[in-house]
Amino acid sequence: MEREEIHANIDAWVAAGQAGALSEEEKQALAEHLEACPACREVADQAAKVSGAVSRAMAEDRPDAGFEDRLVEGFRKNAPRAAPASPARRGLLRFAAAAAVLVVAGLGLLLASGLDANLLRSRSGSGVKAHQDPRDGIGSPALENDAVPAGRENLAGKEEGIQAPASEEAEVMLVEKEMKKLSRSKRREARRPSAPGDFYGPDHNTESYSHQPENPFVKVADDPRSTFSIDVDTASYANVRRFLNRGALPQKGAVRIEEMINYFGYDYAPPEGDEPFAVHMEVARCPWNLAHRLVRIGLKGKVVEREARPPSNLVFLIDVSGSMQSSNKLPLLRKAMKLLARQLTEDDFVTIVTYAGRESLVLPSTPAAPPGRILAAIDSLRSGGSTHGSAGIRLAYEQARTNFVAGGTNRVILATDGDFNVGVTSNSALVDLIRKEAKSGVFLTVLGFGMGNYKDDKMELLADKGNGNYAYIDTLDEAKKVLVHDLSGTLVTIAKDVKIQVEFNPVAVDSWRLIGYENRVMAHQDFNDDTKDAGEIGAGHTVTALYEVVPASEGSGEDEVDPLKFQEGRRPSSAAYSGALLWLKLRHKLPEGETSRLQEFGVQDSTLDFASASADFRFASAVAAFGMLLRDSPHKGTASFDGVKELAAEGLADDPHGLRAEFVRLVDKAKALSR
C-alpha cells in the first residue's frame, strides 16, 4: 500500500476507518501514515471531532425521517461564508456533512455491516492531490479545482451551498448546532431507552474480549506440574457486575474467574519478618463434585500503612478523545482521579498527560499537597478528537523517567476505554511498546471506563505486559474501593515477577485442573528463568488460586491417548508415600531487584468436609462456582445459583463495605437472567 495513495485520498480512508471497513493491514497502514503525516493526522482529528459532535447530539435526540433533508439545508443556510477557506476545508466539510447524514439516516449501519474499504475509497475520485496549507506549509489533501468527488453530490449538496467555517471549532459547533436544533420534539419521540449520556446503547456494541478456553483436567502421568503467574487484577468482576446491573449476562470472555475471586479481600495472616508475603493453603472436598478435592493457595502481601507509604512519582495518563464523552467515562474519570489526588501527601508528585488526536502535557510534575492545582487541571479536561493512545503512553513514560524517585513509587496510571484508533493500535505492537517502556522500572495501573466500545482485551494485555494491575471503574463506589480503600495495594508494589509452580504427587493425585488464570499459564522452564515476566503483588493484597484435584482413588486409571512406544511410566520416589498431596514452589523479586528468591511448601491431603472449611475458603469457592456458571463451564458439576448463595452465606459476616452482600444480589440477578 503506497503512502501517496493514502495521502491523496485521506478523507475516504478516514471514513473507511470510522465505518470499520478497513482490513487489519489497511488499518496498520493508515495508522503508520497518520503517525508520519501531521496534515493527514489533522484531517483525522477533525473527522473525529465531527463524529463526536454527532454522537453528543444523538445521545440526546434521534432523527425522524425528514432529518436528513433539514440537516443538509441547515448546512447550506448557516455555514459561515465571511472568512476565506482552503480547498481542504471545503472538502472536509463536505465529508463532515455526508458523514453526519450517513449516521443519522441509518446509512452508517450499512457501511459498518458490508461496505468495503475499496468502495469507500473509490468515492474519493481521482481529483485529490497534495495541497500546501497556507497556515503551516505542511502538505495536506485537497480537491483539485474544488471538484466534488463522484458519488458525493447527492449526499452533501452543491459546493456553493456548503462552504467551510474558518476554524476547527466553528466546524464542530456548526454540526452540533444543526444536529440539536432540528425537529427536537419529534426526535425525542423516536428515542430509544439508554443510560444518561451513553451514546453506545444496545444497538451499538464494539466491545472486545479475549477468548480463553478454560483450563482442562491434566493427568499427572502426562504432566505433574502446573506453572503460572499470579494475577491481582480485579477488572473482570466489576465489568461482570456492570453487565448484570444493566440486565444482561456477560460475554464469556469477560468472565475471568481468578479476577472475580481476587476482587474480594480474605482474612489471611500477613507475613512476619522481611518476607513480602505469607502463604496459606487449605484442602477440602470439592463442593460441586464431592469425589474431588478443592485446594486453596492464598498469598497475603505485607501491609504498608498510609503514613509509611514511600514517596510517589505518579503520572495520570488520561484519555480525552471523543469516545470518552459519556457520563460513565470522562465525567466519572474526573471524579475518580480527584478522589485519588485527595489521598496523596506532600511527599507525592503528580504529572498529568492527556491524549486525543495528539498527546499533551497538561500539568508538569507538581507536589500533591495541597491538591488545588491538580484538581483544577483535572476539572479542565474535556473530550474530543481521535485516540492516539500510543503517543500518550510514550509521553507519560518519558515524564515518569524524568521525575523518577529512587526507592519510591514510580507509576503511570492510564485511564481509558481502550479504544485506540490512531498511531500504534494493534495489540502486538502495543505489547512491544509497553514492554519496552516497562524496562524503565516504572509500573503501570490501568483503569477502564465506559461501555459500548470498551476494549477489555487491549487493557488487560497492557497491564499484563507493563508490570501493572487492571481495574474497571463502573461507579464512584468502585473508584473509592480502588483508589481510596485499596490505595497502598494499587500504588505500592512489594514483590514483582511472582510465579507459582505446583508439583502433584502421582501416588495421591490422578489429575488436576487450575481454575482460572488461563492467560497466566507459563512454560515450566520459565519458572526458574528470571528474564521471564510475571505478575506483581501490591501492599496488603490478597491473591487466591484454586485447584480442583481428582484423587488417585477416583481416577479412571486410563489414559485418553495411546501409551508411548518408547517410554514407560515414571516410578514414584520415596517422598511420594509421605501423604503429601502436592509440593508448592514460589519465586519472586523485590521491586527493584533482578534476582528471584525461592520459597517451598508441602501440602498434605485432606478429606475435610467442605462445610467445615474456613468461611473465606467457602466464599472463594462460591465465587469460582459463580464464574463457571456464567461461562457455562463443562466443569461446573453440580454447581447452581442457589448452591452459590448457600456457599457464600457464611462469608457475609465480615463484610465492612457490603461487597459480599452485593455479590449475593448479583447471583440472584444472574439466576433470573438465565431462565
pLDDT single digits (tens) 48-61 = 766 655 555 544 44
Last residue of a domain, which of 438, 458, 491?
491
For residues 352 and 377, the answer to whether their CB atoms sit within 8 Å is yes
For residues 208 and 634, the answer to whether their CB atoms sit within 8 Å is no
Assigned domain for 617 exists: yes
Rg (CA), the chain: 28
- Tell whether 310 and 297 lie within a shared domain: no
Asked which of 133-142, 324-333, 420-429, 612-621 is least confident by mean pLDDT, the reply is 133-142
- Tell whether 470 and 531 lie within a shared domain: no
Assigned domain for 99 exists: yes
Asked which of 296-310, 426-440, 465-479, 511-525 is least confident by mean pLDDT, the reply is 426-440
Assigned domain for 511 exists: yes
Q: Is the pLDDT of residue 477 over 90?
A: yes
657, three cell numbers: 463495605
Q: Give the pLDDT confidence of 240-263 residue by residue, as tens digits.
A: 999 999 999 999 999 999 999 999
Q: What is the pLDDT of residue 190?
A: 39
Asked which of 201-210, 319-328, 364-373 is least confident by mean pLDDT, the reply is 201-210
Assigned domain for 440 exists: yes
Residue 420 pLDDT grade (very low, low, confident, very high; cuts 50, 70, 90): confident
Assigned domain for 657 exists: no
Q: Give the pLDDT confidence of 607-623 residue by residue, as tens digits.
A: 889 989 999 999 999 99
Give every CB contact of residue 367 below 8 A, 6+ residues apart in sequence: 346, 348, 349
Range of the domain at 148: 3-189
Give every CB contact of residue 428 below 8 A, 6+ residues apart in sequence: none
Angle at 442 between CA 441 and CA 447, to 5 degrees: 150
Percent of the chain with pLDDT over 90: 54
Q: Give the CA diameter of the chain.
A: 93
Residue 163 pLDDT grade (very low, low, confident, very high; cuts 50, 70, 90): very low
Give every CB contact of residue 427 below 8 A, 6+ residues apart in sequence: 457, 458, 461
Q: Is the pLDDT of residue 368 over 80?
A: yes
Q: What is the rounded distance in angstroms from the CA atom of residue 76 to the CA atom of residue 159?
A: 9
Assigned domain for 560 exists: no
Q: Torsion-angle region of residue 54: left (phi > 0), alpha (psi -120 to 50) or beta?
A: alpha
- Tell whether 144 and 254 lie within a shared domain: no
Asked which of 13-22, 336-345, 434-443, 534-543 is least confident by mean pLDDT, the reply is 13-22
Q: What is the pLDDT of residue 157?
A: 36
Asked which of 122-136, 172-186, 231-245, 482-496 is least confident by mean pLDDT, the reply is 122-136
Q: What is the pLDDT of residue 20?
A: 66
Q: Is the pLDDT of residue 98 over 70?
A: no
DSSP 113-175: HH--HHHHHHTT-S-EEEEE-TTT--EEEEEGGGPPPTT-HHHH--GGG----SSHHHHHHHH
- Tell whether 484 and 339 lie within a shared domain: yes
Q: What is the pLDDT of residue 252?
A: 94
Q: Which CATH number is 440's domain given? A: 3.40.50.410
Q: What is the pLDDT of residue 180?
A: 52
Q: Which CATH number is 550's domain given? A: 2.60.40.1230
CA neighbor of 151 nearest in space, from 181, 197, 118, 175: 118
Q: What's the rounded mean pLDDT across residues 341-356?
A: 95
Last residue of a domain, which of 491, 507, 541?
491
- Tell whether 317 and 458 lie within a shared domain: yes
Q: What's the rounded mean pLDDT across residues 374-402?
A: 92
In the chain, the amino acid numbered 577 is Y
Assigned domain for 29 exists: yes
Q: What is the pLDDT of residue 422?
A: 67
Q: What's the rounded mean pLDDT across residues 145-167?
A: 38
Q: What is the rounded distance in angstroms from the CA atom of residue 548 to the CA atom of residue 515?
A: 7
- Tell whether 130 and 250 lie within a shared domain: no
Q: Is the pLDDT of residue 525 over 90?
A: yes
Q: Is the pLDDT of residue 142 over 50?
A: no
Q: Is the pLDDT of residue 21 over 80?
A: no
Angle at 499 between CA 497 and CA 503, to 5 degrees: 165
Percent of the chain with pLDDT over 70: 75
- Tell whether 341 and 411 lie within a shared domain: yes
Specify the higher pLDDT residue, 65 or 273.
Answer: 273
In the chain, the amino acid numbered 433 is L
Last residue of a domain, which of 456, 491, 526?
491
Placement of cell 509497553 in the chain: 434
- Tell whether 284 and 318 lie within a shared domain: no
Q: What is the rounded distance in angstroms from the CA atom of residue 10 to the CA atom of residue 142?
A: 9
Q: What is the pLDDT of residue 576?
A: 87
Chain CA centroid to CA 356, Å: 17
Assigned domain for 665 exists: no
561, three cell numbers: 491417548
- Tell whether 332 and 467 lie within a shared domain: yes
What is the number of structural domains in the chain?
3
Q: Are strands 139-143 and 493-504 parallel, antiparallel or unpaired?
A: unpaired
- Tell whether 37 and 91 lie within a shared domain: yes
- Tell whether 487 and 513 lie within a shared domain: no
Specify the higher pLDDT residue, 455 or 41.
Answer: 455
Specify the higher pLDDT residue, 306 or 98.
Answer: 306
Q: What's the rounded mean pLDDT across residues 321-325?
A: 91
- Tell whether 258 and 318 lie within a shared domain: no
Q: Give the pLDDT confidence of 22-41 residue by residue, as tens digits.
A: 776 777 788 778 877 888 88
Q: What's the rounded mean pLDDT across residues 566-576?
A: 81
Q: Are strands 409-416 and 359-367 parallel, antiparallel or unpaired?
A: unpaired
